[in-house]
Amino acid sequence: MTDQVFEHALERYCGDCALLLNPQGVILHANPAVLSLMEVDSLQAVLGARWLDWWESPERETAFEALTRALGGEPQRFKGFAYTFRRTPKWWDTQMIPLDSAEHPPRQLLVLARDVTELHVRQQQIQELNTWLEQRVEQRTQESMRANYQLNNALQEIRDLYDNAPCGYFSLSAQGRFVAVNLTAQQWLGRQQDDMVGKLDFRALLAPVDLP
């Protein structure tokens, strides 16, 4: 039965590493794809080896935990980093499937490992780009806040100069109503801004003889 399952895995996952492990984690069978993906010269260099020896810390601990759980009858999947036999760094999406799961522990485990290095690198690049964009947005936000603060200070200074000028300043609409008036003019006229802006016509302050 296990041979049939392994043969089916060879057909379905011919482009991935397919391994058959015993309960001790020793590799019993391996498909030809292992040669190119793991950069090994012959399958004889793989058969009889301990699968955990393919991993280094901290991925080794993750692989050991997955192996332990799979031997308990739970299918496992994890993504981790490991070198090939020629020390090429790669990322692997690994599945572990217990065979003969009615037995405890299973007599054999099917391991399917897919090389996802290119996908992982792209995801890292996207993450780095997102981080850079977030930093740029934060930087531009801080710059905008500083610019707004400086602009508000400048406007306040201009407003103070306008209000406290030694002469009265006011602006009129086309209809002759006050739209702005400084404090000096308010004091001279004895009126408040709220009583003048948008409400008062400047002609109301003129003597009848001065009206046009």
Residue-wise pLDDT tens digits, 143-176 = 888 888 888 888 888 888 887 888 877 788 888 8
What percent of the chain clears pLDDT 90, i.e. is strictly above it? 41
The neighbour count for residue 21, using CB atoms within 10 Å, is 23
Residue-wise pLDDT tens digits, 80-129 = 999 999 999 999 999 999 987 565 667 889 999 999 999 888 888 888 88
For the chain, the average pLDDT equals 85
Residue located via tokens 């006229």: 189
The whole-angstrom separation of Cα 152 and Cα 160 is 12
Q: What is the pLDDT at residue 109?
A: 92
Pick from 109, 113, 104, 43: which is nearest to 78 by CA?
A: 113
What would the mean pLDDT of 44-54 be, rounded to a whole number? 94
Q: Which residues contact 6 (CB under 8 A, 6 or more apart)?
A: 18, 20, 29, 110
pTM: predicted TM-score of the whole model, two decimal places: 0.59
The whole-angstrom separation of Cα 19 and Cα 110 is 6
Side chain identity, residue 193: Q
Q: What is the pLDDT at residue 210?
A: 62
Q: Is the pLDDT of residue 13 over 80?
A: no
